[in-house]
Amino acid sequence: MLRFFAPSVGVDEDPVTGSAQCVAAPYWAGRLGRDTLTCHQASKRGGLLRSTVLPGAVRVSGSCVLYLEGSIVVPR
């Protein structure tokens, strides 16, 4: 189980933390000798993630709800 808190910016608890899974998946994949892992975040809203460790990357999949969309412009 992974949990993420940032109360100083208004996040009491992130319901499902895909970014934390990107760090934890390679560690646990190595320890368990597997490339694919399933993680359940047991927060109030909860969620199920599947992580696949690839060379140089982690693919995280699961259900999601889009709550924000935007773009970033980087000046040249």
CATH of the domain at 18: 3.10.310.10
- Residue 66 belongs to a domain: no
Q: Per residue in 20-76, pLDDT tens?
A: 888 889 999 999 999 999 988 777 777 888 999 999 999 999 887 787 899 999 999
- Residue 74 belongs to a domain: no
> In the chain, how many domains are there?
1
Give 39's contacts (C-beta < 8 A, 6+ positions apart). 1, 2, 21, 24, 25, 48, 49, 50, 51
Q: Which domain holds residue 19?
A: 7-61
Residue 1: what pLDDT? 57
- Residue 50 belongs to a domain: yes
* Main-chain phi, psi angles of 73, to 5 degrees: -110, 120
Residue 9: what pLDDT? 87
Residue 52: what pLDDT? 96
Q: Per residue in 3-15, pLDDT tens?
A: 677 789 887 776 6
CA-only gyration radius of the chain, Å: 14
